[in-house]
Chains A and B, each alone.
Chain A
Amino acid sequence: MRIELERRARASTAFAAISPLLALVLTLVFGGLMFWLMGKDPIATLYTFFVEPLFDVWSLHELVIKAAPLILIAVGLSICYRSNNWNIGAEGQFTIGAITGSILPVLVPEWQSPLLLPTMLIMGMIGGALYAGIPALLKTRFNTNEILTSLMLVYIAQLFLDWLVRGAWRDPQGYNFPKTISFSAEAILPELLESGRAHWEAVFAIVAAIALWFMMRFMLKGFEVSVLGQAERAGRFAGFSSKKMVWFAFMLSGALAGLAGISEVSGSIGHLQPSISPGYGFTAIIVAFLGRLNPIGIIASGLVLALTYLGGEAAQLSIGISDKLSRVFQGLLLFFVLSCDTLILYRIRLVFSRNKTEVGA
Chain B
Amino acid sequence: MSSSQDQGEPSLLSVRRLTKLFGSFAACDGIDLDIAPGEIHALLGENGAGKSTLVKMLFGVLQPSAGQILWQGQPVSIASPAQARELGVGMVFQHFSLFEALTVGENIALSLDPKISLSKISDEVASLSRAYGLPLDPKAHVADLSVGERQRIEIVRALLQNPKLIILDEPTSVLTPQEAERLFETLFKLKAEGRSVLYISHRLDEVRQICDRATVLRHGKVTGTCDPRQETPASLARMMVGSDVAAVHREELGATGETLLEVSGMSVAARTPFAVSLKDVSMTVRAGEVLAIAGVAGNGQGELFDALSGEYPVPDDNSVKIRGKAVGRTRINGRRLLGAGFVPEERHGHAAVAQMSLSDNLLLARAHSDRKAFLSSGFAKVIRHGAVKAAAARICQAMDVRKSGEDPAAGSLSGGNLQKFIVGRELDRQPSVLVVNQPTWGVDAGAASRIRQALIDLANSGSAVVVISQDLDEIFEVATSIAVISEGRLSKAYPAGELSLERIGLLMGGIHDSTRNASQAEEAAHAH
Interface residues of A (CB under 8 A from B): 6-10, 218-221, 223, 226-227, 230-231, 233-234, 236-239, 351, 354-361
With a cutoff of 8 Å between Cβ atoms, the chain B residues found around residue A226 in the complex are: 353, 356
Min CB–CB distance A280 → chain B (angstroms) = 30
B338 is an interface residue with CB less than 8 A from chain A = no
Q: Contact: A219 with B382, CB < 8 Å?
A: yes
Min CB–CB distance A243 → chain B (angstroms) = 13
Q: Contact: A10 with B412, CB < 8 Å?
A: yes
Min CB–CB distance B426 → chain A (angstroms) = 12
With a cutoff of 8 Å between Cβ atoms, the chain B residues found around residue A231 in the complex are: 348-350, 353-354
B76 is an interface residue with CB less than 8 A from chain A = yes
26 contacts between A and B (CB under 8 A): A6-B23, A7-B22, A8-B23, A218-B383, A220-B381, A220-B382, A221-B381, A226-B353, A227-B356, A230-B356, A231-B353, A233-B350, A234-B350, A234-B352, A236-B311, A237-B342, A237-B351, A237-B364, A238-B368, A239-B333, A351-B63, A357-B69, A357-B77, A358-B77, A359-B66, A360-B17
A294 CA to B356 CA, complexed, in Å:
16
Q: Contact: B346 with A233, CB < 8 Å?
A: yes
Interface size class of B (residues with CB under 8 A): 35 or more
Min CB–CB distance B377 → chain A (angstroms) = 12
CB-nearest residue of chain A to B306: A236
Q: Contact: A9 with B350, CB < 8 Å?
A: no
Q: Give B295-323 as 1s and 0s: 1 = Cβ < 8 Å from A's Cβ atoms.
A: 00000000000000101000000000000
B483 is an interface residue with CB less than 8 A from chain A = no
Known contacts being A8-B23, A239-B333, is A230 close to B383, with CB within 8 Å? no
Choose one: B25, B77, B367; the contact of A355 (CB below 8 Å): B77
With a cutoff of 8 Å between Cβ atoms, the chain B residues found around residue A223 in the complex are: 360, 363, 367, 383
B220 is an interface residue with CB less than 8 A from chain A = no
Q: Contact: B364 with A227, CB < 8 Å?
A: yes
Interface residues of B (CB under 8 A from A): 17, 19, 22-25, 63-69, 75-77, 79, 309, 311, 331-333, 336, 342, 344, 346, 348-356, 360, 363-365, 367-368, 375, 380-383, 409, 412
With a cutoff of 8 Å between Cβ atoms, the chain B residues found around residue A6 in the complex are: 22-23
CB-nearest residue of chain A to B70: A357
With a cutoff of 8 Å between Cβ atoms, the chain A residues found around residue B346 in the complex are: 233
A127 CA to B389 CA, complexed, in Å:
42
List 8 additional contacts besides A10-B409, A237-B365, A358-B64; criterion CB under 8 Å.
A218-B382, A227-B364, A233-B346, A234-B350, A236-B311, A239-B331, A239-B368, A354-B79
Known contacts being A234-B350, A237-B365, A238-B365, is A220 close to B383, with CB within 8 Å? yes
Min CB–CB distance A321 → chain B (angstroms) = 44
Q: Contact: B353 with A234, CB < 8 Å?
A: yes
> Which 6 A-B pairs rank lowest in CB-CB distance, beginning with the nearest?
A361-B66, A239-B333, A220-B381, A9-B23, A231-B349, A357-B75
A355 CA to B333 CA, complexed, in Å:
58
CB-nearest residue of chain B to A215: B380
Known contacts being A230-B356, A233-B349, is A359 close to B375, with CB within 8 Å? no
Min CB–CB distance A207 → chain B (angstroms) = 16
Choose one: A7, A10, A360; the contact of B66 (CB below 8 Å): A360
With a cutoff of 8 Å between Cβ atoms, the chain A residues found around residue B380 in the complex are: 219
Q: Contact: B19 with A361, CB < 8 Å?
A: yes
Known contacts being A220-B383, A237-B365, is A357 close to B68, with CB within 8 Å? yes
CB-nearest residue of chain A to B409: A10
With a cutoff of 8 Å between Cβ atoms, the chain B residues found around residue A8 in the complex are: 23
Min CB–CB distance B101 → chain A (angstroms) = 19
Chain B CB within 10 Å, residue with most, of A223, A234, A355 = A234
A358 CA to B349 CA, complexed, in Å:
38
A237 CA to B353 CA, complexed, in Å:
11
Q: Contact: B22 with A9, CB < 8 Å?
A: yes
Chain B CB within 10 Å, residue with most, of A7, A223, A355, A357 = A357
CB-nearest residue of chain B to A238: B364
Known contacts being A223-B383, A231-B349, A357-B76, is A237 close to B360, with CB within 8 Å? no
Q: Contact: A230 with B355, CB < 8 Å?
A: yes
With a cutoff of 8 Å between Cβ atoms, the chain B residues found around residue A7 in the complex are: 22
A238 CA to B65 CA, complexed, in Å:
41
Q: Contact: A9 with B24, CB < 8 Å?
A: yes
With a cutoff of 8 Å between Cβ atoms, the chain A residues found around residue B64 in the complex are: 358
CB-nearest residue of chain A to B381: A220
Min CB–CB distance A143 → chain B (angstroms) = 12
With a cutoff of 8 Å between Cβ atoms, the chain B residues found around residue A236 in the complex are: 311, 332
A359 CA to B19 CA, complexed, in Å:
11
A357 CA to B16 CA, complexed, in Å:
12
Q: Contact: B381 with A219, CB < 8 Å?
A: yes
Q: Contact: B364 with A234, CB < 8 Å?
A: yes
A227 CA to B383 CA, complexed, in Å:
14
A361 CA to B381 CA, complexed, in Å:
55
A355 CA to B78 CA, complexed, in Å:
10
Choose one: B19, B25, B344, B354; the contact of A237 (CB below 8 Å): B344
With a cutoff of 8 Å between Cβ atoms, the chain A residues found around residue B63 in the complex are: 351, 354
Min CB–CB distance A314 → chain B (angstroms) = 42
With a cutoff of 8 Å between Cβ atoms, the chain B residues found around residue A233 in the complex are: 346, 349-350
Known contacts being A9-B23, A227-B356, A239-B332, is A234 close to B367, with CB within 8 Å? no
A227 CA to B349 CA, complexed, in Å:
9
With a cutoff of 8 Å between Cβ atoms, the chain B residues found around residue A351 in the complex are: 63
With a cutoff of 8 Å between Cβ atoms, the chain B residues found around residue A357 in the complex are: 68-69, 75-77
A361 CA to B20 CA, complexed, in Å:
11
A239 CA to B342 CA, complexed, in Å:
12
With a cutoff of 8 Å between Cβ atoms, the chain B residues found around residue A219 in the complex are: 380-383
Min CB–CB distance B111 → chain A (angstroms) = 24
Known contacts being A219-B380, A230-B355, is A237 close to B311, with CB within 8 Å? yes
A233 CA to B344 CA, complexed, in Å:
10
CB-nearest residue of chain A to B368: A239
Q: Contact: A237 with B77, CB < 8 Å?
A: no
CB-nearest residue of chain B to A222: B383
A219 CA to B69 CA, complexed, in Å:
55
Chain B CB within 10 Å, residue with most, of A8, A226, A230, A239 = A239
Q: Contact: A230 with B353, CB < 8 Å?
A: yes
With a cutoff of 8 Å between Cβ atoms, the chain A residues found around residue B19 in the complex are: 361
Chain A CB within 10 Å, residue with most, of B68, B368, B382 = B382
A165 CA to B215 CA, complexed, in Å:
79
